[in-house]
Amino acid sequence: MSRGLSRSIVVGAALIAAVALGACRDTGNAEGKLFEISGKIFVFNYRLARATYVVTLRPLQPMGEGQVAIASFQDPAGGAPLVVEQKVWPKLDKVTLESPALTCVVKNKPYAIAISIKDADGAVLQKIDTTLMSTEDQSVLPDRPLVIDQLYTANPDLVGHPDGKLPGEPKPDCSKGS
Domain boundaries, the chain: 35-158
Q: Would you list the DSSP string of 96-138?
A: EEEPPPB----BT-EEEEEEEEE-TTS-EEEEEEEEEEBSS-G
Residue 104 burial (C-beta neighbours within 10 Å; 0-12, 13-18, 19+): buried
pLDDT of 9 > 80? The answer is no
Torsion sign across C-alpha atoms 123, 125, 131, 137:
negative
Q: What percent of the chain has pLDDT over 70?
A: 82
Q: What is the mean pLDDT of residues 65-78?
A: 96
Residue 75 binned pLDDT confidence (cut-offs 50, 70, 90): very high
CATH superfamily label, 35-158: Immunoglobulins (2.60.40.10)
Q: What is the mean pLDDT of residues 64-75?
A: 95
β partners of residue 113: 73, 130
Neighbours of 34 (CB within 10 A): 19
- pLDDT (0 to 100) of residue 23: 36
pLDDT of 6 > 60? The answer is no
- List the one residue out of 68, 119, 117 whose CA is nearest residue 89: 68
Backbone angles phi, psi at 149, to 5 degrees: -155, 180
- pLDDT (0 to 100) of residue 162: 83
CA–CA gap between residue 44 and residue 109 (Å, rounded): 16
- pLDDT (0 to 100) of residue 87: 95
Instruction: Name the strand (E) or helix (H) holding 86.
Output: strand 82-87
pLDDT of 18 > 70? The answer is no
pTM of the model: 0.77
